[in-house]
Amino acid sequence: MKLIENKILEDGKIINNDILKVDNFLNHQIDLNIIDEYAKEVKKFFKEEKIDKVLTIETSGIAVAYAVCESLGKVPLLFAKKSKSMIVDSNVYSTEIKSFTKNFVSTVTVNKNYLQSGQNILIVDDFLAEGNAALGLIDLCHQAGANVVGFATVIEKGFQGGRKKIENLGVKVFSGAIIKAFENNKPTF
Ligand code: 5GP
């Protein structure tokens, strides 16, 4: 989407040549015009699919997922929680997800009552990098026997390999913008 590419070029800051900071419209302050337009494109991309629920991960995925749920006609939004407790509740599905930006592994859970066998789930997140968050959320769906309809992200860093891992599981991927590379401290698309 040109709208997102332009916003990245205007506001994005590259950190350590592998992280893009877009706090002005996605990760701190949120521009509703942008995420609403993004959500409309998600709806178009997955128009053939039946979607019962959107699954994301706290925190940055939630606002984007909310916009997508609205555009899909107010389907429920479920967010996986990053657990801090060592004692994992027995009524949850849980998985381990390595954080791309913080370099640690979190236990991530969803309550079994909210993710159920046969449900058609669209997974949404703000960024796609190496695909660990997406793979963890897909794993939670598989544990529940739910069907993963697709994965939608606002910004994909195409050079970090996440898409292939998700597509290898037979899951379709939609991205609002795909960054090909960071060249001379500028994203290229
Ligand atoms: P992955 O699990 O695909 O390696 O990374 C995706 C997750 O890490 C997303 O949930 C996102 O919050 C975070 N992330 C990865 N790369 C970036 C980035 O360049 N900028 C920001 N703000 N978050 C990122």
Decide whether any atom of ligand 1 lies within 6 Å of the 20 Cβ: yes
Instruction: Say if residue 102's pLDDT is above 90.
Output: no
Give the contacts of 38 (CB within 8 A, at least 6 positions apart).
1, 4, 64, 67, 68, 154, 176
Structure confidence by residue, pLDDT tens digits, 43-55: 999 999 999 999 9
Cβ atoms 144, 115 nearer than 8 A:
yes
Looking at residue 1, what is its pLDDT?
98
Structure confidence by residue, pLDDT tens digits, 163-188: 999 999 999 999 999 999 999 999 99
For the CA of 19, the closest atom of ligand 1 is: 19
For the CA of 98, the closest atom of ligand 1 is: 2
Measured in Å, residue 61 CA sits from the centre of ligand 1 at 10
User: Which two three-digit tokens encode residue 20?
Assistant: 């893009």
**133 Cα distance to chain centroid:** 7
Structure confidence by residue, pLDDT tens digits, 136-147: 999 999 999 999
**Model pTM score:** 0.97
Instruction: Say if residue 86's pLDDT is above 80.
Output: no
Query: Which of 15, 58, 100, when mutated, tests ligand 1's pocket best, judged by the most ligand atoms within 8 Å of its CB?
Result: 100
Instruction: Say if residue 9's pLDDT is above 90.
Output: yes
Looking at residue 103, what is its pLDDT?
83
